[in-house]
Structure 1
Amino acid sequence: MATSAEAIVDLDAIAHNTRVLTRAMGNAALMAVVKADGFGHGAVATARAAVGAGARWIGVTSAFEALEQRAAGLDVPILAWMCGPQDDLTALAEARITLSVATLSHLDAIAGEAERRGVALDVHIKADTGLSRGGAVRNTWPELFGWARKYESAGQIRVTGLWSHLAIAEEPDHPSLAAQRSAFTEAVELARAAGLTPVMLHLANSAGILQLPDTRLDLGRAGIALYGVPPAPGSDFGLRPAMTVRAGVVQAGDGRAVLPLGFGYGVPRRLGGVAEVLIHGVRRPIVGAVAMDHLIVDTGELPVTEGDEAVLFGPGDRGEPTVVEQAGLAGTNPHELLTGIGARLPRRHRQHTEA
């Protein structure tokens, strides 16, 4: 009997997916991207499971996320790529966080903090190679690389990495991929010409790791695939979805069931009238509008009583909808649906010994 709504997170699935991704990377390293509270799965629990299964880096966006990992005892290298000069660089330096840099002003701030502390801080320079969503644009590369080398020579920073992000890695034959690879090669050559020697070159996201071998380089950044969502259509890549959202029926009768799940929990309103849930192994439709605190299911002739379990999405192995299916019906992607499942819905992390 189910008595409440919750999100069950299968940490064995996270570990399994990590192993799938590390095998794809070969001798190169895997970064577990746990931004946005581990895509809604719980950042610290996800990071621990991934590192335990072979991930050698953790990736986050904000200073808060980076410091949260260190406070939890995670001691592997951490890259944070959306920190700015306004963040507490002292705290980040003390926590040994590697910072991504894309502007000269940010580089200046990091170098200044390093000078005050008398230490060299590690940075990865992000080059925009075509995504146009952050990263140093092409006409700033020579100046940025030149100043990076000056600060490195002064002992203020260490440029340990150079990276970029693929725009359309989901389509292996998309022409933008060749253009981005060429642009990244140019960035590496310019950086080395300026005297920089970054030892970690990284370009591949989840789709790149799994289907674009020439983008894997020294490090692959696994985001959505870490959580078991295929990053490209046509294959599940051997991944296992990690989150199940379920609830107990709180009211039943007259062919209807009320579930304590609504848009206040992160269930998209657009699922009303188009999506289904699984009850007693049978899919039944959501009817009417999804409210803030509940949704209504048409149970038909199915014998449903209070406390019976209904599954909004899960791995799909029992016939329940998957997050990919529900996201499609909601007109969004699985990333938004997973990260939108808010803190109001308790997480229950489940882990067993897995061979």
Structure 2
Amino acid sequence: MHDALKAYASLKRPFASLDMEAMDWNIGMVNRLSKTKQVRIATKSVRSVELLHYIAQKLTNHVGWMTFDCEETQFLLEKGFDNFLIGYPQIEKAAIASLVPYIANGSKVVFMVDCEEQLAYLNKIGEAFEVRLDICLDINLSTEYKWMYFGTRRSSLHTLENVMRLCTKQQEYEWTDIVGIMGYEAQIAGVTDQSSSKWQTPVIRMLKQHSKKKLAQFRQEVVREMTKSCPSIQFVNGGGTGSIEFTSQAEEVTELTIGSAFFYPALFSRYDHTPYEPAMTYALRVTRKPSEQIVVCHGGGYVASGATGVDKNPVPLWPPNLTLLKHEGAGEVQTPLYDKDRTLKIGDTVFFRHAKAGELCEHFTEIHARRGDRYVKTFKTYRGEGRCFI
């Protein structure tokens, strides 16, 4: 990180930083690991228009974008982007209606559904504007055992019967078309192999291996049956950074959604096979030193979303041998650290990795990029453009 200190010598702390060489490496790994599959970029993992463009241009098989909601989709449409899969069901009438003119003019926007209520809502809006709306069915690939539920509590489409019932019901709605299937293996892509509790690690690995077989069989059955009754299906979406190698081998999947791999945040270091480099970091200034082995940084309370736990904390990256204090963690206005090697003094800089990718961009209006010890440019985040969608 000595190169980073030189590149960012004149910047006020705190700031978000991006190692362009590391991100280029990560993009190259996605190209290699995704094989012949098309890649849809998860925009919420990047949250910067300029960086989304940059990544897309370097991806071999880039096909489009997975967005968070209608407002973000409209924002990106206005920036000239196209081919969207909105990753989550939308029930805000005005927001959905705002996309209709773009769809009527030929822009590709696909809405996510997993129940008839969502389907009927979209159909009603399509009918009101006399515009057919494309939809994607979000099937639930979680594995349910008698003693536990392994996966996410999201989609209600957890059996083939559920899926085919909704597929048949959709034929009654003339203003919607099923064009896609999403089979996201959240318990593989979104659950780390290495737990903060050591005893859980072998259990998680065993569950993931067993779950892979069951979810693969279910997804194949759904795709086979749906393509028989829904000739309008254009894609089958799956995968994520944590499951890219597994999903790229699935014959029924046509495209992968990838986001976190490009920044490679700290949470993904807890996976067994993630050959990426930390690209996105942030820097804090040491402003206090209450004892020889304790320093305090200004700011830094950037804790990630999800079930609370130590894995959602930011991770000190440089200098080495720094750890958060167990009973204080990363504070909103100050972050104390245990300095094992007693190397830090007031005025020094500490670099951290955020636990999750795009969430760091909610705390900064710009990202400062470098190549080696050379400052390259500044990328605006969504926040830097005055926008917030989450």
- TM-score band, normalised by the shorter chain? 0.7 to 0.9
User: Which digits, 9 at most, give the CA deviation of each residue in 1:301-327, with x for residues without a partner?
Assistant: 8565543212233xxxxxxxxx5xxxx
Give every structure 1 segment of 4 or more consecutive aligned residues whose post-TM-superposition deviation is greater than 6 Å: 267-271
Partner of 2:52: 47
SS at match of 2:169: helix
Q: Structure 2 length normalisation: TM-score?
A: 0.69
Q: 1:31 aligns with which of 18, 24, 40?
A: 40
Q: Structure 1 length normalisation: TM-score?
A: 0.75
User: Which digits, 9 at most, give the CA deviation of each residue in 1:35-88, with x for residues without a partner?
Assistant: 2xx2xx53434422221222322112322332232233323x111122333342
Residues 22 and 29, structure 1, Cα contact 8 Å, conserved in 2: no
SS at match of 2:282: strand
Q: Bigger CA drift: 175-184 or 78-87?
A: 78-87
Q: 2:279 aligns with which of 231, 234, 242?
A: 242
TM-fit CA distance, 1:10: 3.5
TM-fit CA distance, 1:182: 1.7
Residues 14 and 226, structure 1, Cα contact 8 Å, conserved in 2: yes
TM-fit CA distance, 1:174: 1.4
Q: 1:308 aligns with which of 348, 362, 365?
A: 348
In structure 2, C-alpha distance between the alignment counterparts of 1:275 and 1:125, rounded to whole Å: 35
Task: Report whether the alignment pairs 1:82 with 2:88.
Answer: yes
Q: 1:158 aligns with which of 177, 181, 192?
A: 177
Structure 1 residues 159-308: aligned runs within 5 Å: 159-169=178-188, 174-215=209-250, 217-229=253-265, 230=268, 233-237=271-275, 239-252=276-289, 255=292, 256-263=294-301, 265-266=302-303, 277=316, 281-287=319-325, 289-290=328-329, 291-297=331-337, 302=342, 304-308=344-348
Amino acid at match of 2:117: S
User: Which digits, 9 at most, give the CA deviation of each residue in 1:154-194, with x for residues without a partner?
Assistant: 4x233221121114436597122222122122222332332
TM-fit CA distance, 1:267: 8.4
SS at match of 2:39: strand
Question: What fraction of aligned residue pairs are identical, expressed as a percent?
Answer: 13
Partner of 1:93: 100
**Can you give the 5+ residue segments of structure 1 that lack an aligned partner in the other structure?**
314-322, 324-333
In structure 2, C-alpha distance between the alignment counterparts of 1:266 and 1:120, rounded to whole Å: 41
In structure 1, C-alpha distance between the alignment counterparts of 2:152 and 2:367, rounded to whole Å: 37
SS at match of 1:249: strand
Partner of 2:63: 56
In structure 2, C-alpha distance between the alignment counterparts of 1:27 and 1:108, rounded to whole Å: 36
TM-fit CA distance, 1:99: 0.8
Q: How has the CA–CA distance of structure 1 residues 309 and 228 changed in structure 2, closer, same or farther, with 3 Å as cutoff?
A: same
Q: How has the CA–CA distance of structure 1 residues 212 and 129 changed in structure 2, closer, same or farther, with 3 Å as cutoff?
A: closer
TM-fit CA distance, 1:293: 0.8
**Can you give the 5+ residue segments of structure 2 that lack an aligned partner in the other structure?**
1-8, 143-150, 190-204, 377-390
User: Which digits, 9 at most, give the CA deviation of each residue in 1:320-351, with x for residues without a partner?
Assistant: xxx5xxxxxxxxxx33xx56547445542416
Q: How has the CA–CA distance of structure 1 residues 232 and 305 changed in structure 2, closer, same or farther, with 3 Å as cutoff?
A: closer
Amino acid at match of 1:106: Q
In structure 2, C-alpha distance between the alignment counterparts of 1:244 and 1:267, rounded to whole Å: 14
